[in-house]
Amino acid sequence: MKDKMTYFDETFRDIDAFYKRLTERMFKQMEEIEKAIQSGRLQGEWDVRPI
């Protein structure tokens, strides 16, 4: 049986990996949206500000 510290470390490593992938996807999507706005593929009023 794994000790509590190993379980704790694995859990936080998994959470860290999840948020890293989530952040990467989020920034990629924001970049794609910004490019689409600038190229004119998306129409309308856009107030794009850096985070």
Helix (H, G, I), strand (E, B) or coil at 28: helix
Mean pLDDT, residues 2-15? 87
Q: According to the model, what pLDDT value does residue 51 have?
A: 72
Residue 25 lies in a domain: yes
Residue 47 lies in a domain: no
CA distances from 36 to 5, 33, 49 (A): 46, 5, 15
Range of the domain at 6: 1-36
- Identify which of 22, 21, 26, 48 has the alpha carbon closest to the alpha carbon of residue 35: 48
- Identify which of 20, 39, 40, 18 has the alpha carbon closest to the alpha carbon of residue 28: 20
Identify which has the larger pLDDT, 48 or 10.
10
Residue 46 lies in a domain: no
Q: How many domains does the chain have?
A: 1
- Which tens digits make up the pLDDT trace of 22-43? 999 999 999 998 898 889 888 7
pTM to 2 decimal places: 0.62
Side-chain half-sphere CA neighbours of 9 within 13 A = 5
Residue 51 lies in a domain: no
